Amino acid sequence: MHISLPPDFADPDGSRPLRIAMVSVHTSPLEQPGTGDAGGMNVYVLELSRALARRGAQVEIYTRATSSAQPKVTDAEPGVRVIHVSAGPYEGLDKNDLPGQLCAFAAGVLRAEAHRPEGWYDVLHTHYWLSGQVGWLAAERWDVPLVHTMHTMARVKNASLAPGDAPEPQGRIIGEEQVVAEADALVANTEQEAADLARDYQADPARVHVVQPGVDLGVFSPLPDATERDPAERDQALRDPAAPHRQLAELRKGLMLPAGRKIVLFAGRVQLLKGPDVLVRALGEPIWSEGDGQPPLLVVLGGASGRPTAVRELEALAYQEGVADHVLVRPPVPQRTLARYFQAADLVAVPSHSESFGLVAAEAQASGTPVVAAAVGGLCTVVEDGVSGVLVPDHEPESWALVLKSLLDDDEWRARLAAGARDSATRFGWDRAAEQMLEVYEDARKHHATR
């Protein structure tokens, strides 16, 4: 199907901006993260594109159409355009079904670009291995450098599968190997991911660049401190030690959460990889009978991913563990509402079995909430153990129950970690990530010129 692209972005002074094509086959950056195949990669692609546009670049993001109601072309904001390409049926396909639609998707991308003058794009940046397969073809056709971000890798995931989870297929591993071999530059979220690329995929270290994702610090921020309010409110708050508690109570009331309970928050897709079942089992540990005699309230913000019954299975597990009254499952929410949930929680838990970065952990810390995370992958970079949160060395429910209870019983410890979380979050910003990515693009162009 032909996609008729609108005229070029306005360019009143006649200058030639950097033109970037991004490809995100299996999930649109406009989709709500937290359900289906939508997650941190959606946020990554959109926020990076926005930051690049603020630097004068023009970004066009190609993604697969999942509804007939979607406009073929959407200007997300000045400098960022999303192009929905029809490839296969709109509904009923998850990312495991998409390899069979890559030919159709690639044809749609090439047709769209064919109506532009030759040499339109300067660089092609693909996300996840499915997009890399399309980008490999398009970059050769357009004679532009190919930059690829893996986001997750099959060999890394297969090395740390959750119990009962299915391994990634050999076809994906072969596809990833092909993209690694063809890319002019590979972008890793952390030094650990860069090492994984070199070890597991024999990537040339000279072509691997570490660019840490960012956090929208304007959206994700702590509850206002008493010293940051206007003078009248500040003076009243400083005279009233209970003011912060009332502020938290009002926030929880707005979110329909109990004011008098400890709250642990899980935000993400409900699937074995992300480990919400670890938290439910942790609530069933006998250690909670000590103290006030009940576990905290576990709030799960997320939808089913992989299996349509994933949420019902998690709720059934809570019933089996005898903690159904202590687990509250809600659908995913927009970014600004998510920030309020982070502010309202005592702790944010990220028990993933594999994580290339851990954007939820970074956003929670930016909101001033300590994070308890599994000591895997990029989480070891995002969460500073003992400074902004605590890293748990395994996925045993007993280990998680012990760490969570120790933190929830110690208000001073949590307060120190909260302060460290706020400081730690300043390491991550999308503007900084965009500046570094522009350098990667330039290196990729130089490498492409020599091939």
Contact predicate 297/328, CB 8 Å: yes
Whether 182 and 308 map to the same domain: the answer is: no
40 is in an annotated binding site: yes
pLDDT at 10: 40
Task: Please give the backbone phi and psi of residue 392, each rounded to the nearest 5 degrees, phi first.
Answer: -100, 125
pLDDT at 338: 95
345 is in an annotated binding site: yes
Whether 27 and 161 map to the same domain: the answer is: yes
403 is in an annotated binding site: no
369 is in an annotated binding site: yes
**No. of helices (H) and no. of strands (E), the chain:** 16, 14
355 is in an annotated binding site: yes
pTM for this model (two decimals)? 0.87
Whether 435 and 327 map to the same domain: the answer is: no
Whether 314 and 347 map to the same domain: the answer is: yes
88 is in an annotated binding site: no
Whether 187 and 238 map to the same domain: the answer is: no
For the chain (451 residues), the mean pLDDT of every run of 10, in chain order, is 51 72 90 68 92 96 89 92 91 80 94 90 96 95 96 92 89 96 96 95 96 92 61 46 72 93 94 94 92 86 85 95 95 93 97 91 95 95 95 96 96 95 89 96 94 76
407 inside domain: yes
- Residue count of the chain, please give it: 451
41 is in an annotated binding site: yes
Contact predicate 266/300, CB 8 Å: yes
Angstrom distances, CA of residue 273 to CA of 41, 316, 350, 365, 389: 15, 18, 11, 22, 21
39 is in an annotated binding site: yes
283 inside domain: yes
Which domain CATH number covers 74?
3.40.50.2000
227 is in an annotated binding site: no
445 is in an annotated binding site: no
Structure letter (DSSP) for residue 26: S
Q: Domain of 437?
A: 19-214+430-450
3 inside domain: no
Whether 176 and 257 map to the same domain: the answer is: no
Q: How many domains does the chain have?
A: 2
Whether 258 and 142 map to the same domain: the answer is: no
Instruction: Say how far apart CA 362 and CA 422 lie, in whole Å.
Output: 10
Whether 201 and 291 map to the same domain: the answer is: no
116 is in an annotated binding site: no
25 inside domain: yes
Q: Which of 195, 24, 267, 270 is nearest to 125 (CA)?
A: 24
250 is in an annotated binding site: no
42 is in an annotated binding site: yes
437 is in an annotated binding site: no
Whether 170 and 292 map to the same domain: the answer is: no
Whether 282 and 140 map to the same domain: the answer is: no
**H/E segment holding residue 168:** none
33 is in an annotated binding site: yes
**H/E segment holding residue 399:** helix 397-408
95 is in an annotated binding site: yes
301 inside domain: yes
56 inside domain: yes
2 inside domain: no
- Beta-carbon contacts of 360 under 8 Å, excluding residues fewer than 6 positions away, are 40, 267, 268, 348, 350
83 inside domain: yes
Whether 230 and 165 map to the same domain: the answer is: no
Whether 292 and 390 map to the same domain: the answer is: yes
